[in-house]
Amino acid sequence: MNRLEGKIAIVTGASAGIGKASAILFAKEGAVLGLVDIDDAAGEAVAGQINREGGKARYLHADVASADELETAINVFAKDFGGIDVLYNNAGGATPRDAHLLEMPLDEFDRAIGLNLFGPFVACRFAIPYMQERGGGSIINTASIRSMIGTSGADGYTAAKGGVVTLTRALALQCAPKRIRVNAIAPGAVLTERVRALMDQGNDSGPDEKMVNRHLLGLGEPEDVAPVALFLASDDSRWITGQILPVDGGASAN
């Protein structure tokens, strides 16, 4: 307990799935939480739950594909809470019309990049100066095993997550002198609300049967990823930076 005592953390995509599970866990470990999402009712509900359980959290609406909205949210959290120690760029996911390169609408590629790559890029841009003022911190980006192995059917998402991997490594080099660590989690197929919906629809941008069968330990739950995010957010990982950590039930090894 209290592994994040005194830390100020921002979690994007915090209204559901991995973001929600991580925010609740971070709060239990002592962090003050700034929650970002576009689902206002669900985001407020997560903040309310944390506050009722004795933690401290505030929710703000921001689309991570909008630089202006994200900058405003980060500035508000930093000023209200006194800085930023942890940034968890969790928001992202497959988009409904993503597909094979020859088939997907071109505007869906822009949507995939905005949600999955532009968002983390912008959030890091605005959060890093606040972390530097605090003497360091931890940035956690969300990649995907699709960025590490060959998969088919979600080429926009895969390209965006590949960008997250290389952005993570580039920022790790640039931020080390500032005592800011930058790592990424590469989840496999996690049964979030979004993934369940894509699977129920038979949408190819979600995990198909071949992808599901790669998971040696079965598909994951958000609570399987949150402890890994906690580890990277905490001082337990103080000697780790520039790493891409698969959390995938063995899928990348199969």
Instruction: Please give the Cα distance from 246 to 145 (Å, whole number).
Output: 7
* Calpha distance 204→227 (Å, rounded): 29
CATH architecture of 8-253: 3-Layer(aba) Sandwich (3.40)
Q: How far apart are CA 62 and CA 179, in angstroms?
A: 27
pLDDT at residue 21, rounded to an integer = 98
Q: Quick one: pLDDT band at residue 238, thresholds 50, 70, 90?
A: very high
What are the structural domain ranges in the chain?
Answer: 8-253
213-225 pLDDT per residue, tens:
889 998 999 999 9
128: left (phi over 0), alpha (psi -120 to 50) or beta: alpha
Average pLDDT, rounded, for the chain: 94
pLDDT score for 153: 82
Q: Are 127 and 67 in contact (CB under 8 A)?
A: no
Give pLDDT tens digits for 129-144: 999 999 999 999 999 9
Per DSSP (E only), the strands in 79-218 are 86-89, 137-142, 180-187
Query: Residues with catalytic annotation?
Result: 157
Residue 193, beta-bridge partner list: none
CA distance 251 to 248: 5
Of 189, 107, 200, 203, nearest in space to 149 by CA: 189
Instruction: Concatenate the DSSP letters of all residues of 224-235 into one string.
Output: HHHHHHHHHHSG
The CA-to-CA distance between both ends of the chain, in Å, stands at 34
Distance CA 142, CA 145 (A): 10
Could you identify the residue written with the tokens 């933690």?
55
pTM of the model: 0.95
Segment 38-75, tens digit of pLDDT: 999 999 999 999 999 999 999 999 999 999 999 999 99
Q: What is the Cβ-side half-sphere exposure of residue 140, based on CA atoms within 13 angstroms?
A: 32
| Encoded tokens for 14 | 């915090």
